[in-house]
Amino acid sequence: MNFDPSEEQTMLADMADKLFGGHAAREMRDPEAEWRDSLSYGLTGLPFPERLGGLGGGHEEIMLIMEAMGRHLSHTPYLQAVLMAGRVLALADRAELSGLLEGGFRSALCLFEPGQRYCWDKPVTRAERSGEGWILDGAKLAVLDLDRRCALIVPASVPEGVGLFLVPPGSAGVALDIRPTPDGRTAANVALDRVRVPPGASIGDPAGNAALLSEVLDGAILASCAESIGAMERLLSLTVDYLNVREQFGVVIGTFQALQHRAADMLVAIERARSMTIYAASMMEAAAPHRTIAVAAARALVNQSSRFVGQQAIQLHGGIGLASECAAGAYFQRLTVLETLFGDTDHFLSIVEQGGGLPAD
């Protein structure tokens, strides 16, 4: 075991820090500029194997740049376009991946459905054969960073299992309801009303697509854990800074032991989350059920830490913590979005329990 980043990894982390830190310093967030920069700095190609035109980076590298995104509250649709939709394309060997790597093509994975909470492997959305192609009917929910120019990747039930369909932007029968998320990004609800797609739109193999999606999802959840850790660490440091300048009763409030201990508990919660995320990363090459349990366990603990750190940061800021002008709130909002993005804490604990607990070592 060795937890120290290599020289290359340190350089990558520094680069990501500068890149997203620079964007954070701008007066207005510009997600499109961040997205273009992610591409030109090589981050878009990072997770893909070299034979597919990527840079062959591993989960550790992804975690380093996700941490930087969390630290700087990045608005780039990296998680969605690269780590979710992009990885589906890569694992299914789709030619559209080169469009992503060259720029110009973006897609979004539409995982969840109304009324189904976090269940994604038994879609109510259906695909029926129609001549050579397919007709899709159903609805999808809360698709992060779905832009009108994005193609949709839609899981839909077919007799053989889970079909995956690539729906071009602007297809007839697709209605998007794009809404702002609490952390300043967007999430869309998607209605699919007899959407016709050509034969080539079917991705992968319905019998194996659930396994493919599970692998993609586990990788994305791990990445989201790293993003949460980056956000939590910065939020704690903002809080400590505030405790060291804010004066009440004639002294800085950071001298009060009750507040010191709360901050110490936040630190402990963050270290716990980081350790569990490292554990999940070490399990990414394990057999699929073990990998999924380890990732679920990590996200459950990261969720717990996020909620504690987020809420206590607001508490320790006092009144100003409720004001939008205060940076702490934006971190709290981002942490909350990440907490509910792939499943809430109870959902992930249930996955761990149904899988029989953490794998023995």
Q: Which residues bind other proteins (CB under 8 A)?
A: 1-6, 9, 60, 236, 240-241, 243-244, 252, 254-255, 257, 259-261, 263-265, 267-268, 271-273, 275-276, 278-279, 281-282, 297, 300-301, 349, 352-353, 357-358
Task: Rank residues 108 and 349 by Cβ distance to other proteins and give the closer one.
Answer: 349
Helices marked H in 193-322 — which ranges?
209-245, 257-282, 288-317
Closest approach, Cβ 260 to other proteins, in A, equals 4
Nearest residue (CB) to other proteins, 40 versus 282: 282
Closest separation between CB of residue 179 and other proteins, Å?
33
User: What are the residues whose beta carbons fall under 8 Å from the beta carbon of 154, sequence distance 6 or more?
Assistant: 110, 125, 136, 140, 164, 165, 166, 167, 190, 192
314 close to 322: Cβ distance less than 8 angstroms: yes
Give Cβ neighbours of residue 163 (< 8 Å, ≥ 6 apart).
Answer: 127, 134, 155, 156, 157, 202, 206, 209
User: Of 178 and 240, which CB lies nearer to other proteins in the complex structure?
Assistant: 240
User: Least separation, in Å, of the C-beta of 317 and other proteins?
Assistant: 14
Name the minimum Å distance from CB 290 to other proteins. 13
Q: What amino acid occupies position 278?
A: I
Measured CA to CA, the distance from residue 310 to residue 68 in angstroms comes to 18
Q: Which two tokens stand for residue 273?
A: 């989350």
The smaller minimum CB distance to other proteins, of residues 6 and 40, is found at 6
**For other proteins, which is the closer residue by CB, 2 or 324?**
2
**Residue 230 near residue 67, CB atoms below 8 Å:** yes
Distance in Å, CB of 25 to other proteins, minimum: 21
